[in-house]
Amino acid sequence: MIKFLDIYKQDKKLHLSILNNFKKIFKKGDFILGDDVTNFESNFSKFCNSKFSIGCANGTDALTIALKSLNLKKNSEVIIPAMTYCSTAFSVINANLKPVLVDTEFMKSTISIQHLKKKINNKTKVIMPVHLYGSVMNINEIKKIIRGKDIFIIDDCAQAHGAKDDSGNKVGSLADISTFSFYPGKNLGAYGDAGVITTNFKKFYTIIKKLRNLGSEVKFKHDLIGMNSRLDSLQAIILNHKLKQLSKFNSKRRKIASEYDNKIVNKKIEKLRYSKFSVYHQYVLVVKRRNEFIKHLKKAKIQYGFHYPFAIHQLDAFKEYFKSEKFPNSEMLAKYGISIPIDPNLSKNEINYIISKLNSF
C-alpha cells in the first residue's frame, strides 16, 4: 500500500531530539507560552520574512483572531473563495462578520480576480484569499484592486508553509495579516492542533498577542475580550525541529509534482494549474469518471484524498447563507477533484508506480 502521507516515516530521525527536549520541559514545567513558544515565533518570523509571529491553538482560531483584531462593525463583509476548508468560512461567522463567496479560477485552486472585482462594494472590509493546495494567490493583484479603499487583506496560508508568490516573496509576509495551521498533515505539522498568525504591523501584533491569551499580556490584567487560544511548549518544540527540514521537504514535493506534470499522460485525467513557487500541499487531479478512478486506485493499493468533496455553499451548515448561489469552478473541483500522494518521502519506484497506474486508467 502506498500511503497518502507517512508522518512517522517523515519525522523518525527527529523523534529522539524531540523527546530529549520534552524531558527538559517536564523538569522546568514551562508548558504554556514559554521560552520554546517565543523561540518558535522568532524562527517562524525569520522563515516567512515577517516582523511578527504569534502562536495560537489552531488554524481556525488564527483566522478568527486575525479578523477580530480589525475591530470591524458586525456583519461587515469578508470575501472568501467558494472552494476552501470550512474553517475559512466559520472564522468569518465566529467573528460576527458576513462571508461573501467568490468562485475559483477555472482549473486553478485560487480565487478568481475577475469574479472578485464584481463582489467588492462599500460593505467589503476584508478580502481573505486562500493559498489552497500550496498554490499561491496573487496578492499584489488584489492590492491593486483595493488601492485607496478601506479594505484589509488576511490570507489563509494553512496549506502554503514556505511557498512564495511569483515575484519570490514568502507567504506569511504578503498580506496585512497571515494565518497558518499546523495540523499534523500540513507541510509543517505539529503532533496535535497548533497555529500561528504573522504580520508586519506592530498595531496588529499588539492586539493579536492579547486576543490569543484571554485579552491579556500581563497576568490578571485583561484589556480586551479575548480567546483562550495559546500555543503550548510541547507543540512549539516539535515545530522548531520540523521547521529546519521544511525547505528540504518542500523541494522534494516540487520534484514529485514535476514528475507528475511531465509523465502523467491520460486524456481521462486533467491536472490543475499551480503557481510558480507552489509547495504542493496537495496534488489534485480532475477526473470526470471519479468513481471508476477510485476503484482503480484501490485495486492498485494507492491511497487518495478529497480536498474538498463539497464547496462552502454545498455544506449543510451554510445552506441558509448562500441560497441558490452557484460557483461552477468550485463545484467542479468538489465533484471531480481527487488528491494523489505527494509525500516528500515517496521513493522513485513508488512515484513511477503511481504514474504508470494513472496512465493505465
* Residue 157 pLDDT class (50, 70, 90 cuts): very high
DSSP string, 216-227: EEETTEE-S---
Residues 239, 240, 245, 250, Cα dihedral to 10°:
50
Residues 202, 160, 327, 143, Cα dihedral to 10°:
40
Averaged pLDDT, 142-147:
97
Contacts of 24 (CB under 8 A, 6+ apart): none
Rounded to whole angstroms, how far apart are CA atoms 319 and 329?
18
**Nearest CA among 198, 191, 176, 185 for reference residue 54:** 198
Which residues are registered as beta bridge partners of 232? 32
Homologous superfamily in CATH for domain 246-359: Aspartate Aminotransferase, domain 1 (3.90.1150.10)
Domain boundaries, the chain: 7-243, 246-359
**pLDDT for residue 296 is more than 90:** yes
* Residue 227 pLDDT class (50, 70, 90 cuts): very high
Contacts of 6 (CB under 8 A, 6+ apart): 343, 345
pLDDT digit string, tens, across residues 171-222:
999 999 999 999 999 999 999 999 999 999 999 999 999 999 999 998 899 9
Is domain 7-243 annotated with CATH 3.40.50.300?
Answer: no
Distances (CA, A) of 239 to 24, 57, 192, 246: 16, 13, 11, 10
* Residue 104 pLDDT class (50, 70, 90 cuts): very high
- Cell numbers of 129, please? 484569499
Rounded to whole angstroms, how far apart are CA atoms 155 and 207?
18
- Cell numbers of 175, please? 498580506
Instruction: Tell me how long the chain is.
Output: 361
Task: Check residue 41 and give its pLDDT.
Answer: 98
Is residue 260 reached through a cis peptide bond, with omega within 30 degrees of 0 on the bond before it?
A: no
SS3 at position 138: coil
Query: Are the C-beta atoms of 185 and 7 separated by less than 8 Å?
Result: yes
Contacts of 196 (CB under 8 A, 6+ apart): 41, 44, 53, 54, 55, 56, 62, 179, 180, 182, 231
**pTM greater than 0.85:** yes
* Residue 324 pLDDT class (50, 70, 90 cuts): confident
Element (H, E) at 84: none
Task: Check residue 223 and give its pLDDT.
Answer: 93
Place of cell 517536564: 26
Averaged pLDDT, 88-92:
98
Task: Check residue 319 and give its pLDDT.
Answer: 85
- Cell numbers of 27, please? 523538569
**Nearest CA among 11, 88, 83 for reference residue 284:** 83
pLDDT digit string, tens, across residues 242-291:
999 999 999 999 999 999 999 999 999 999 999 999 999 999 999 999 99
Rounded to whole angstroms, how far apart are CA atoms 207 and 128?
19
* Residue 11 pLDDT class (50, 70, 90 cuts): very high
Task: Check residue 323 and give its pLDDT.
Answer: 84
Give the other-Cβ count within 10 Å of 97's Cβ.
23
Averaged pLDDT, 55-83:
98
**pLDDT for residue 226 is more than 90:** yes
Q: Taking the mean position of all CA atoms in its chain, how far away is CA 36?
A: 23
Long-range contacts of 5-9 (CB under 8 A, 24+ apart): 5/185, 5/341, 5/343, 6/343, 6/345, 7/184, 7/185, 7/189, 9/345
Task: Check residue 98 and give its pLDDT.
Answer: 97
Task: Check residue 47 and give its pLDDT.
Answer: 98
Rounded to whole angstroms, how far apart are CA atoms 182 and 191?
9
Mean of per-residue pLDDT scores for the chain: 97
Query: Are the C-beta atoms of 183 and 189 separated by less than 8 Å?
Result: yes
In the chain, the amino acid numbered 341 is: P
Rounded to whole angstroms, how far apart are CA atoms 14 and 243?
11
Averaged pLDDT, 217-237:
95
Distances (CA, A) of 279 to 72, 128, 205, 282: 33, 20, 27, 9
Give the other-Cβ count within 10 Å of 114's Cβ.
10
